Chains A and B, each alone.
Chain A
Amino acid sequence: MAPLVRLLMARLAVSLLTLLIVSVLVFMATELLPGDVAQAVLGQSATPEAVAALRAVMHLDQPAWLRYLTWLGGLLTLHPGHSLVNDLPVAQLIGSRLPNSLLLAGLTALVAVPVALVLGITAAVWRGGAYDRIVGLLTVSAVSVPEFLVATLAVLVFAVQRHWLPSMFYEMPDRSAMQLLRAFALPVMTLSFVVIAQIARMTRAALINVLDSSYVEMAVLKGVRPLRLVLLHALPNALGPIVNAVALSVSFLLGGVIIVETIFNYPGLAKLMVDAVTTRDMPLVQACAMIFCTAYLLLVLLADVFAILSNPRLRHR
C-alpha cells in the first residue's frame, strides 16, 4: 500500500503547489494596476492626506510580500476583505451567489455526463461508420462555436419563436417544480451542449485507445459478444481517462458558466465576478478567481486520484 499512498501524496503536493502559484499570479494582478488602489478608490481630486490615510487602512504602505501573506491568510480564514464598490464583506457577497452557481453546475453535470458517455461510447464502438462521423462532426462544431451563439440560438428558437421557455432567469421566492424546471431549462441546455461535446470526444478517444489494445483483439478472437466486450473488457480500463475527461471539461463548463450566467441574468458567482471586473472591484475579483481555480484544481485532483485507484496495477502492488 505504501507506493500507492506515496503516489497520492505526490499528486496532492502538486495540486497545492499549483494553487500556491495561482494565488501568487492572482495577487500580482493587483500590483499591475496603474497607479494606486487608494487613489483609484478616492478619485483624482482626493487630498494627499486622505490617500495616505486610506493607504494605511488598506495596508498599502506595507511591502507586497507582507500584503500577499495577509491576503492569503484572509482567504484561508474565509475573511477575504471588503468590496471596494459597496464595502460589503466579500464573503457575504460570495456566500449569497455560490449556492446558485453550484446548483447550475450540478444540474448541468446531471444532464450532460450521462448523455456524453452514451454518445462517446457508441461512437467508439461504431467507429468509422456514418454514426461516428455524424457525432464527430457535431461535437467538433459544438466545441468550436462560441457559447453565446448556442445561447442566442436557443433563446431565438425556444423563447422568441415558440414561447415555450422564458428567455431570462427571474428569481422568485417560491415557485412550483414546473416553473423551476422551465427557468433552468435554457441555461442548463446551453451549458450542456458544449460540455457534452467535450466529454463525448474525449470518451471516444479514450475508449478507442483501449479497443486497439491486443487484449481486446484477443477477446474478439475468443468470440466475446460486442456488448460484453465493450462494457466488461474495454470500459474498465478506459475509466481513468474518461473520468479525467469529465473533470477537464469542467474548465469548459467554467467558461460557459461565465457567458451563460451573463446572458440569462442568472444570479450566480460568475455573474458576480463579471460585474466585479466591470467595476474593477479587485478584492471581489481575486476571491472569485481563487474559488473558481480551487474548485477546478480540486476536481482534476479527484479525477486523478480516481484514475490512480481504479488502476489495478497500482492498487495491488
Chain B
Amino acid sequence: MSIASPARLRRRIRPAGAIGLAIVLFWVVMAVFGPFLAPHGEGSVVSAQVLDASSRAALLGTDYLGRDMLSRILFGARYTVGVAALATVLASLSGSMLALWAATNGGWSDAIVSRLLDALISLPSLLFALVVVAAVGSSIPILVLTAAVIYLPGAYRTVRALAVNIVAMEFVKVARARGEGAFYIMRAEILPNIVLPVLTDFGLRFIYVVLLLSGLSFLGLGIQPPFADWGSLVRENIEGLAYGAPAVIMPALAIATLTIGVNLMIDGLHGRPGDPHGH
C-alpha cells in the first residue's frame, strides 16, 4: 500500500483533460454548424444500399432508408447536445438559485424545500420520465422540462451543501452586519466561492441528462420523428445490428465520446467533488 503525497498528485499534468475539452468543443461546434458541414441533407437518400458499410460516398455507411449516416449524426448533434444543454442549464440554474436562497435563509423554508426535493431525488430518473411521457406525451419542450425537473434536486443538493459552509463564514456574518440584502450576499459573498464545484456538478449533470434523453429516444419515447437525436438513430437502425452495420454503432459511439469527453474534461480541469485527491 502506497500513500501518495498530495504534492506529487498536484503536480501531475492531466493531458486527458485537454483531450476531453477538445472532444466537447468539437461536438458543441457540430451542434451549431453541423447542418452546414454535413455532406448530404438530413432526409436525402444517397444510396440504394440500406444499412451499408462505410464507403467513399457515405463515410459512416447508410441507414435503413439509404440516407448518409455521417449527415444524420451531424444533424442529430443539435438535438442530443442542444436539448441536453438546455435542460441542464435549466436544472442547474433553478436548482442553484433555490439552494442559495434556502442556504441564506435557513430555518423552515430550507427544511421544507430540502425534504420535498429529497423525495423527488429518490425517484429513479428514467422511471420518472416514463411516467411523464405516458401522461403528457413527448415533445422537445416537455423533454427539456422533465429532464430539468428530474435533475434539479441533485443540483440543489450539491449547491446547498457547498453554500451552507460558506454561510457560516465570518465574511458572510460581516456582510449581514453591514446590512447587505439576501440577494447581494448570494451573488457577491457566496457564489464566487463555490463557482468551481458548481461547474463540475453542471458537467456531471449534463452527462446524466444526455444518457436519460438518449435512453428515452432509444425506447422510442424521446425526440419524435422527423427529428432524430443520436438515441433515435440507434433505434431506427437497430435491425442493422444483425449485419454489424455502422448505422447502429456509430450514433451510440457518438454519445459515448460526448459523455466520456465531458468526464475527462471535469477530471482534468479540477477534481470531482468529494474526491480529496482531485485538486
Q: Write the residues of chain A forming the contact surface with B, with a CB cutoff of 8 angstroms.
A: 17-18, 21-22, 25-26, 29-30, 32-34, 125-129, 140-141, 144-149, 152-153, 155-156, 160-161, 167, 205, 211-212, 220, 226, 229-230, 251, 254-255, 258-259, 262, 273-274, 276-278, 280-282, 285-286, 289, 292-293, 296-297, 300
Question: Is B136 on the interface with A (CB-CB < 8 A)?
Answer: yes
Q: How many residues of B contact A (CB 8 A)?
A: 52
With A25-B120, A25-B123, A29-B131 known, 20 other A-B pairs at CB within 8 A are A17-B119, A22-B122, A32-B135, A128-B2, A140-B260, A145-B255, A146-B218, A146-B255, A148-B231, A149-B252, A149-B255, A152-B249, A160-B241, A160-B243, A254-B127, A255-B215, A258-B127, A262-B219, A277-B134, A286-B131
Which residue of A29, A127, A255 contacts B135 across the interface (Cβ within 8 Å)? A29
- Which B residues are CB-close (under 8 A) to A220? 1
Give Cα A26–Cα B267 distance, bound, in whole angstroms: 37
Ordered by A's residue number, 24 sampled pairs between the chains whose C-beta atoms are within 8 Å are A17-B119, A25-B123, A29-B135, A127-B2, A127-B4, A128-B9, A128-B277, A144-B207, A144-B262, A145-B256, A146-B256, A149-B252, A152-B234, A152-B241, A160-B242, A160-B243, A211-B1, A254-B124, A258-B219, A259-B218, A274-B219, A277-B131, A277-B221, A281-B134
Interface string of B4-41 (1 = CB under 8 A from A): 10000100000000000000000000000000000000
Give Cα A156–Cα B244 distance, bound, in whole angstroms: 6
Contact between B1 and A125, CB atoms less than 8 A apart: yes
Contact between B134 and A276, CB atoms less than 8 A apart: yes
Give Cα A258–Cα B263 distance, bound, in whole angstroms: 24
Contacts A156-B241, A156-B249: A144 and B260 contacting too (C-beta < 8 A)?
yes
A-B contact count (CB 8 A): 157
A22 to chain B, nearest CB (A): 6
B214 to chain A, nearest CB (A): 6
Contacts A22-B122, A292-B124, A293-B127: A282 and B134 contacting too (C-beta < 8 A)?
yes
Question: Is B116 on the interface with A (CB-CB < 8 A)?
Answer: yes
For A149, give the chain B residue with the smallest CB separation.
B252
Contact between A296 and B249, CB atoms less than 8 A apart: no
Q: Write the residues of chain B forming the contact surface with A, with a CB cutoff of 8 angstroms.
A: 1-2, 4, 9, 116, 118-120, 122-127, 130-137, 207, 211, 214-215, 218-221, 231, 234, 238, 241-244, 248-249, 252-253, 255-256, 259-260, 262-263, 267, 274-277
Contact between A212 and B276, CB atoms less than 8 A apart: yes
Contact between B130 and A148, CB atoms less than 8 A apart: no
Query: What DSSP secondary structure best describes chain A's contact surface?
Result: helix
Which residue of B118, B126, B244, B260 contacts A255 across the interface (Cβ within 8 Å)? B126
- A17, A148, A220, A259, most chain B CB atoms within 10 A: A148
